[in-house]
Chains A and B, each alone.
Chain A
Amino acid sequence: MDEVKIKKELNVTEPTEVENRIKELCLQFPQGITDQVIQNDLPHLEPQQRAMAINKLLSLGQLDLLRNSSGLLYRLKDSQISGKMKGSDNQEKLVYQVIEDAGNKGIWSRDIRFKSNLPLTEINKILKNLESKKLIKAVKSVAASKKKVYMLYNLQPDRSVTGGAWYSDQDFESEFVEVLNQQCFKFLQSKAEVARDSKQSPMVQRNSSFASSHEVWKYISELGISKVDLSMDDIETILNTLIFDGKVEMTVIAAKEGTVGSVDGQMKLYRGVNTIIQPTGLVKTPCGLCPVFDDCHEGGEISPSNCVYMNDWLDF
């Protein structure tokens, strides 16, 4: 131990040694190190020497300079990428950096222009270049079908970009949603029926007609109707549409921490319910559904006496 320390202190003034030491430190703390850390580690180093070493590393592209709330951060650059970036000029690096910062949400080419202050034609060239090197990729966003966003090649696009499980190739799969919607309802309905036939006390009947979102999720996964993996949240969105269809009711109950299907000590329970009224009287008449209801007047072109809908309905 002592030996190491002595050795370090001996060689501390060597510029290459300083650089290596900083790199080592960076490897130790992959999330980045502050100036303070380097200072503590190499207490005898002159600030000027330290600055020189860091500047050299930065210019070589081996270190990244980041800014966070506490100040500046140094981080080691991915050697693989820095290898790939070899032969690229500064502009390319800049664009790459901007895209990298955008993360898996991606960034629009116009926003790259604002951030990098480069002309659009230049950017387009660079983007094409980077794409051909398989450093970045273009993903079509579901929010706007014409809009392409760029992100690093190895990233999985965010849900907001792809639209999650409900989209395939930017198209909303409404049929898929409808099928899931029906299946979930079928499940809840059969559960409610079983509960009703059980001839138990009303409280037990009601409680056994509830199904947690986890149960529904399990049922759907086991059915195997979905090619994509659906999460619990996905199933809950489907169940929500059933609530808006007026077919399902939801309650939240407190659950023990660690119970299957509970989130933050809460569990969402769903159950199929019946509607409170039959279709109302108004819509049983042709007038209730008439598309030209507002234009209908006695003695007019459209009138109850010559109404074609009324004729069909009466002869039905």
Chain B
Amino acid sequence: MTAQETRLCGLLLQEHFGDVVEKVGTHLLKNGTQNLRTILHETGTSLNLVKKSLCVLMQHGACVFSPGRKGPGSPTEYQTSADRILRILRYPRYIYTAKTLYGDTGELIVEELLQRGHMTMSSTVKTVADRLTQNMEEGRSIDYSEVSSAFSNLVETHFLQRCPILHGTGAKDSSAAPAAPESATLPSPESFPDCYRVPQIQLFGRGKRQHSGEDGEEQRNAKKPKLDPATHGDEGIYWQVNFERFHLHFRDQAIISAVANKLDQTSSEIVRTMLRMSEVTTAPNASCTKPLSANEIFRSLPSSYNISRPILDQYLTLLVDDPMEFVGKMGESGGGTYVVNLNRALANLARATLESVVQERFGSRSARIFRLLLRKRHLEQKQVEDFAMIPAKEAKDMLYILLSQNLVQLQEVPKTPDFAPSRTFYLYTVNQLPTARMLLQSCYKTVANLIERRLFETKESKRLLEKSQRIEAILASLQASGAEPEQLTEVEEMITAPERQQLEALRLHINKLDSAENQVDETIFLLEAYINSTVRAVSPVKGK
């Protein structure tokens, strides 16, 4: 947990849940596991508010509780997870992915679940159906069953999963969150056998249109008590978004696009097929996919690609021969068995990311030196100059700049124990993992900066925004009451031309900042995936 992460988490919490949750959340992030009384005391917030913030955090899985460490009877302790809070940054991407894979219905399901933390299937289906109906033309609506089947699809492909059920009391409590009473470690939802089983729900009907206007709201409120007591057979089974599954999907997409860039479209389609085939059989954190024989791959290739068997073999050989080693060959059986080297691919992608950072920031010649060091491991200054074919003076300059930015490390190898400069080798080297970690921190800081800037921009034009909102509201109400067109234009003109221009500029700025946040998040994802995979490979899984 670094200062940058805490800062970013704080900003995200503030944006999504408000100031109080932010206060409690950052306090927990900074101080680790604490019980309710300590939180209360140290944040100086009222009991009620702290309780509510903790509930909010738990609802979203960002906080877990466990019995006190001081033995039975000691107060329950709370702990937040920064990883989960940082996921908020990726929400747009999850929602977008769901949209591309499962259309509008999938998008809304994921969006609802993300916004509410966890929900039962029946309530999700109802909300989504209502929202879809809302956007349809008058007189049309969507059947619950359609939404249900989309939901089941998402569960079947593991994009959604059940929240783990709590042992003991309060299993159906609304604040139930994944937590294991016995151990402090978080139980993975996967460890429950029913994790991806869709319950039978009795839910008939169609999405209801939410009527605009006061009486529509009342009508709904009047209906609510009638609806609520109806049971759908899935009470107590809550669903959440399976972030890991989304991440696997992102990772696969990154690999596929890398192959498409490096080789060609057809190779990337072959890799896509291989990844899709092994989607279910490969463990989430495996270093490579399960071996697939060329015959199997051939059979699973969509016929629209029009790849004949010999051509497929050639493509596979090419993929294996490629120095990036995205695909590896395991054996000869079944026409040759192949795997996708997931970890290797991630490492390569991360390396390309580092190179691209150096390239953009310090120019292509520095990038040449950087790549040279990545390739040759340890080099003396003179060797760097010779290999990179850069004049000594410039090469020295670039090396020292890279060194001062911690992108390049210096290793001293003394010939004598006195470390006299004349008798010491100075070897330059690049350590990929620490460098990736460092860049990840700069990414966090960058996103935090972008958010701060966005908040600043909105704050600066707060008055203007409020005014435009007010005028829009007036316009809407005038329109509803059937006002004269002259009246409407008169109201519209309350916003002057320069003000309109300013609003337009603000909108552009915010969009730019938003998209930049998402772009940086892609870098964050790649670096995180690489770091996690490497750390996993180095230290084998701790008894799971």
Contact = CB atoms under 8 A, between A and B. Distances in A.
Given A275-B356, A288-B520, 4 more contacts: A203-B318, A279-B359, A281-B521, A305-B452
| Chain A interface main SS type | helix
Interface in B491-511: 505, 508-509
Interface stretch (B70-78, B133-141, B367-375, B411-419): B367-375
B449 A287 contact: yes
B523 interface: yes
A274 B521 CA distance: 24
A283 B360 contact: yes
A68 B18 CA distance: 88
19 contacts: A172-B391, A172-B392, A174-B389, A174-B390, A202-B318, A206-B318, A243-B375, A244-B368, A244-B372, A249-B323, A276-B349, A281-B520, A282-B446, A283-B357, A285-B520, A288-B442, A288-B446, A296-B445, A296-B449
Q: How large is the interface on B (under 10, 10 to 19, 20 to 34, 35 or more residues)?
A: 35 or more
B449 A244 contact: no
B315 A202 contact: yes
A137 to B, nearest CB: 25
B387 A240 contact: yes
B349 to A, nearest CB: 6
Interface string B306-323: 000011001101100001
A285 B516 contact: yes
Interface residues of A, number: 46
**Among A206, A246, A298, A307: residue with most chain B CB under 10 A:** A246
A40 interface: no
A261 to B, nearest CB: 21
A252 interface: no
B335 to A, nearest CB: 16
A244 B391 contact: no
Contacts of B388: 241, 244
B361 A304 contact: no
Contacts of A246: 355, 367, 371
B521 A202 contact: no
B478 interface: no
Interface stretch (B41-49, B50-58, B258-266, B426-434): B258-266
Contacts of B267: 202
B520 A282 contact: yes
Nearest to B394: A174
Contact of A203 (B262, B317, B387): B317
A280 B509 contact: no
A181 B368 CA distance: 12
Interface string B372-394: 10010000000000011111101
A121 interface: no
A282 B357 contact: yes
A177 interface: yes
A240 B368 CA distance: 10
A277 B261 contact: yes
A206 B352 CA distance: 22
B16 interface: no
Interface in B246-264: 257-258, 261-262, 264
B353 A307 contact: no
B439 A282 contact: yes
A315 B457 CA distance: 13
A45 interface: no
A273 B262 contact: yes
B446 A310 contact: no
Contacts of A89: none
